[in-house]
Structure 1
Amino acid sequence: MARELKDGEQVRLKGSAGALFMVTVGQPFTRELIERRLKSGEWSWPGETPAAAEQGNPEPRTEKLSKPAPGEDSPKPRTEKRSDRGDADEPGPQPRQETVTGPDSDDPDRPSVSAPKSEWVVYVARTQHMSREDAASYTKADLIDMAK
């Protein structure tokens, strides 16, 4: 089914796994890109058999190689320079600091930071005197902050 695609038009298509999706003709889904994917059978119109399934053969790939083949004019490998010790006054990346609930915690019932949100909901609801429904409406990070 040949159909004229216009910029700004929203079209419903079917992906290679059969899922329906909506795209707007324009950037990044240009008319040419959509038509190429329809022709290759990667996408199809709802209710139609993909073009590649009708043809039986996939379209050959046309991408260029990202690196030249051995023996061609290949680029020289990049060399990294080591930094001098004189660069020591410049601050570098700082080690990551994490707060982890350990065995020395005040409350032995407090869940660990890596515990699922459901455990934090129960804990915060109990310690902050709120319903579980109210506690569940917060993010896990918010629940951890409330428990401090």
Structure 2
Amino acid sequence: MRAGDTLRFRGPAGAEFVVTVGAAFDERTIKARVDSGEWTPLDADPAPAGGTSEDGPVSRPPQNAQKAEWVEWAVTGLGLDRGEAEAMTKAQLIEASPADGDQ
């Protein structure tokens, strides 16, 4: 877990959310919330660059997904630099991503 990493969790009421590791949510704070059971991780580990995870290839997110999911896809699925992906608009990320059948 590094500063700038985007992690997905489910909260105590069942809502899913994304946290970017940084000053507000450092590794110690995130670990404490997970250990207490307040947050449930939805990703075992961020997928490595190259578009694969422990479960196989990373899937392209649906068009209505949050921008953070598209940034994560651009980094893990397309190999873009995280800073470059975060600077792009959601529309640019979608345009840069081939449809699943086009890969």
TM (norm. structure 2) is: 0.40
- Structure number with bigger Rg: 1
Higher helix share: 2
